[in-house]
Structure 1
């Protein structure tokens, strides 16, 4: 294929972390237009959720508004709330696709996952 030099254009990072005593696989793939994050404690993709940043009335990141849409899987409030909560830890303006398959969606669990994402995504933003 002409024009494709050296490395694959999608940056991907994989790691297994411990969240509330559960082994949690994390895969973060940075595409040119989206961020794809897989979070699983079952070894499966689970619910696929798209989070889009909507244009706020004022140019203030603290008042960001997000649209959440379940593309595959269970479409219930718990999944929407989890995606909205996690996006607040992620330093990007890109749309995000989450694949969520966690044993629970309690605030303690989501906070630990969010802190991991915040640290790891801010490090990759600086090195990009």
Structure 2
């Protein structure tokens, strides 16, 4: 056995790599229920019936995906609608690229078309990214009732024709 120095610590026992079995159901729980936050009925930390018709009305997440060749480059578009945001991925690299948040302004010059504020969350913060983001998905926010948009953008072709074609592909993946 090796002697431990003044700063050395004894080895820690290893924790199990995989989670243990799920805890048993709560007393009196019905089959098909699980403990969760049941926002459909406003109950917190109670058992939610997964067969509840209110829960079945709408899926939690709606998503559509399309692959098309845009200006000679294979392009993948994925649109996902969450309750508070719409997430749009436009990639010609097979990666998410730069993540941009687009928020409709609460104070707008024109009531019909509110101003959109862009902010790069991940990736390179270049002026052209903001221009592409606004041009690609402003219509999504407007058609979705001014919901905020998260846009993941990774483009090889940065032409005006490419942006027009991408808007049509995004429109074909409408989930809002």
Matched, 1:100 2:133: no
- The 1:21/1:3 distance shift into structure 2, 3 A limit, reads farther
Q: 1:23: which partner in 2?
A: 74
Question: Retained in 2: the 8 A contact 1:78–1:105?
Answer: no
Query: In proportion to residue count, which structure has more helix?
Result: 1
Which of 44, 55, 59 is matched with 2:111 structurally?
59
For residue 57 of structure 1, report the CA deviation from its aligned partner. 3.4
For residue 25 of structure 1, report the CA deviation from its aligned partner. 0.8
- Return the TM-score normalized by structure 2: 0.63
Q: 1:10: which partner in 2?
A: 61
Q: 1:72: which partner in 2?
A: 122
5+ residue gaps in structure 1?
Answer: none
State the aligned residue count. Answer: 121
Rg larger for = 2
- Return the TM-score normalized by structure 1: 0.84
Q: 1:114: which partner in 2?
A: 167
Query: In proportion to residue count, which structure has more strand?
Result: 1
5+ residue gaps in structure 2?
Answer: 1-33, 35-47
For residue 115 of structure 1, report the CA deviation from its aligned partner. 1.9
